[in-house]
Structures are given as structure tokens and as C-alpha cells.
Amino acid sequence: SEFFYFWNSWQKVTDRTRLIRGELGRIDPSAVVLTHNNLIPQVANRRYVYQFDYRPKPTKAEQAEALQPDVVILAREFWEPATQPVSATLEELLTLKYKIVTEFDGFFILKRQEKPL
């Protein structure tokens, strides 16, 4: 029932989830976001929201390069299977002019530093 869903969801609220929700709430409503499927409901009120692919190619960084999102959100617990590791993804995103603005316990928010001409 609906009650069970809400009760079950509430049981999973932790200090970490509160912190993540707070960080996601600070993202500009006009931003274009690229993230994991599980986080889309938390950022749905943004200009555009794109979801990472579940396949190894294109990589998350290649998706970011093609879509040019303002914000990329990564969360280790929602990592898509068979895709490159978090460390490699972060390294590639940093070379694409993204900067880590939030980082804790496997959760990352990166912002694009330069807009394309």
C-alpha cells in the first residue's frame, strides 16, 4: 500500500541522505544535469536532466562531453554495472573542465567551469 511505501522510504532516511538532498537542493533550477537514474527524482525541477547510460560506451565523461551539462552528479552506490570505475570517470571529467564542488563518502557534484562558445 502507499502507507507501506512511505514508511519504508522514511526508514531509509539517514544523515547522509539528508546531506545529499540538501546538496541537490542547492543546484540552480536553470541548470542542465547529468546523473544516475536513482537521483533523477531529486533533481527533476531543473532545466534538463539527463541519465547516465548503463553500457560501457559511451563513458560517463563522453556523455558529459556530448551533452554539455552544467552539473554532473556521481554516486558510488548507484554506479551502473559494467561501466568504468569512479576514479577513471572523475579523472576524465576533470580534464573536460569540470570541477568537484561537493565530495563526501562516494558522492560527487561537479560543475562545468567553462561554457562552450
Confidence of residue 15 (pLDDT cuts 50, 70, 90): confident
Q: Looking at the DSSP assignment, which residues form a beta bridge with residue 100? A: 110
Q: In whole angstroms, what is the distance from residue 77 CA to residue 39 CA?
A: 11
The pLDDT tens digits of the residues spanning 32-57 come to 999 999 999 999 999 999 999 999 99
Q: At what angle do helices 60-67 and 86-95 cross, to 10 degrees?
A: 30
Please give the backbone phi and psi of residue 113, each rounded to the nearest 5 degrees, phi first. Answer: -90, -30
Q: Looking at the DSSP assignment, which residues form a beta bridge with residue 73? A: 109
Q: Is the pLDDT of residue 116 over 60?
A: no
Q: Is the pLDDT of residue 1 over 60?
A: no
